């Protein structure tokens, strides 16, 4: 479904205005059915490049393309009408410089209907964030653990511990000053995330960053338990749909093999002749 005259999508400025008023609720969404389920409860639906790992079986987010992001962004737009849609800029689509970032961000928004883009990086991305926001493209920043930089970070490690805290604070202040309307803090010590949240005028959206952030985001497949063998420390399972699905599939297979399914009520009779 698309936005209607009676239901208006939230805008980036409204998410910023939630700072200090109400926690921002964010989940990832990659498909139309999931967007329909999440739209009523979420302020932000993030079409994350995590879709490469979650849906396509890639080993990291680095192989995600613009075409993949557009395809899934369009699907989420068709399934939602209230939440702000934020779409990730994939690896290689913005790092070259502000002009490249603008071309690709404009394409993502124009072809999907997303209301904002998200990009990874702190101080070194401030110029690009300022360039985009000055040209009408709202930006959600992403600092701390930035999955597109996993090779240079040396893995999926907590960021901002010890002497690295000053660097993370500087990243946060830089992206806020550049015009980001919100910033994701991923895998950051809770006390540091709380300090950053107090210092910034824009909302912080935590993922593995403690309760004092201004909002929270999770990968929806993680919180629904669709992966039975993947349990990050920062994820709370609100359901175990993966195990339930496996049981249902096994029951279906058993009934097909025993010819218990389809039963007479699942079949069509011959046309009754008068």
Catalytic residue among 14, 127, 186, 240: 186
Q: How far apart are CA 197 and CA 212, in angstroms?
A: 7
The neighbour count for residue 6, using CB atoms within 10 Å, is 6
**What is the DSSP secondary structure assignment for residue 119, as one 8-state letter?**
E
The neighbour count for residue 89, using CB atoms within 10 Å, is 25
Q: How far apart are CA 206 and CA 252, in angstroms?
A: 40
Where in 2-125 does DSSP place strands (E)?
Answer: 24-28, 44-47, 84-88, 116-120
To the query of whether residue 186 is one of the catalytic residues in this protein, the response is: yes
Beta bridge partners of 204: 183
Q: Determine whether 151 is exposed, middle or buried from the number of CB atoms within 10 Å of its CB (0-12, 13-18, 19+).
A: exposed
Query: What contacts 122, CB < 8 A, 6 or more positions away?
Result: 141, 143, 167, 168, 170, 171, 172, 174, 175
Say whether 111 counts as a known binding-site residue.
no
Residues 174-190 as b or e (16 or more Cβ within 10 Å = b) = bbbebbbbbbbbbbbbe
Say whether 187 counts as a known binding-site residue.
no
CB 77 within 8 A of CB 114: yes
Say whether 221 counts as a known binding-site residue.
no
Say whether 88 counts as a known binding-site residue.
yes
**What is the DSSP secondary structure assignment for residue 214, as one 8-state letter?**
S
Say whether 120 counts as a known binding-site residue.
yes
Assign 3-class secondary structure to 121-176: CCHHHHHHHHHHHHCCCCEEEEEECCHHHHHHHCCCCCCCCCCHHHHHHHHHHHHH
Q: Which residues are catalytic?
A: 186
Q: Which residues are annotated as a binding site for 3-methyl-2-oxobutanoate?
A: 49-50, 88, 118
Q: Which residues are annotated as a binding site?
A: 49-50, 88, 118, 120
């Amino acid at each position: 479904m698309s936005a209607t005259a009676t239901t208006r999508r939230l805008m980036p400025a409204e998410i910023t205005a939630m700072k200090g008023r109400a926690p921002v609720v964010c989940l990832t969404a990659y498909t139309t059915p999931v967007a329909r389920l999440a739209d009523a409860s979420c302020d932000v639906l993030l079409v994350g490049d995590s879709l490469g790992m979650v849906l396509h079986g890639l080993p990291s987010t680095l192989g995600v393309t613009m075409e993949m992001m557009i395809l899934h962004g369009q699907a989420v737009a068709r399934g939602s009408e209230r939440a702000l849609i934020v779409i990730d800029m994939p690896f290689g689509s913005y790092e070259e410089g502000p002009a490249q970032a603008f071309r690709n961000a404009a394409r993502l928004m124009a072809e999907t209907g997303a209301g904002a883009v998200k990009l990874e990086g702190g101080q070194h991305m401030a110029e690009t964030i300022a360039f985009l926001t000055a040209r009408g493209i709202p930006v959600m920043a992403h600092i701390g653990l930035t999955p597109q930089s996993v090779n240079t970070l040396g893995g999926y490690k907590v960021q901002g511990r010890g002497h690295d805290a000053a660097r993370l604070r500087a990243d946060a202040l830089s992206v806020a000053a550049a015009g980001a309307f919100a910033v994701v803090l991923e895998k950051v010590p809770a006390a540091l995330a709380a300090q950053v949240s107090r210092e910034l005028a824009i909302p912080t959206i935590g993922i593995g960053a403690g309760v004092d952030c201004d909002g929270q985001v999770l990968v929806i497949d993680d919180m629904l338990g669709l992966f039975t063998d993947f349990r990050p420390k920062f994820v709370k399972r609100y359901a175990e749909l993966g195990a339930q699905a496996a049981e249902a599939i096994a029951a279906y297979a058993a009934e097909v093999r025993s010819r218990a399914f389809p039963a007479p009520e699942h079949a069509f009779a011959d046309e009754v002749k008068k």
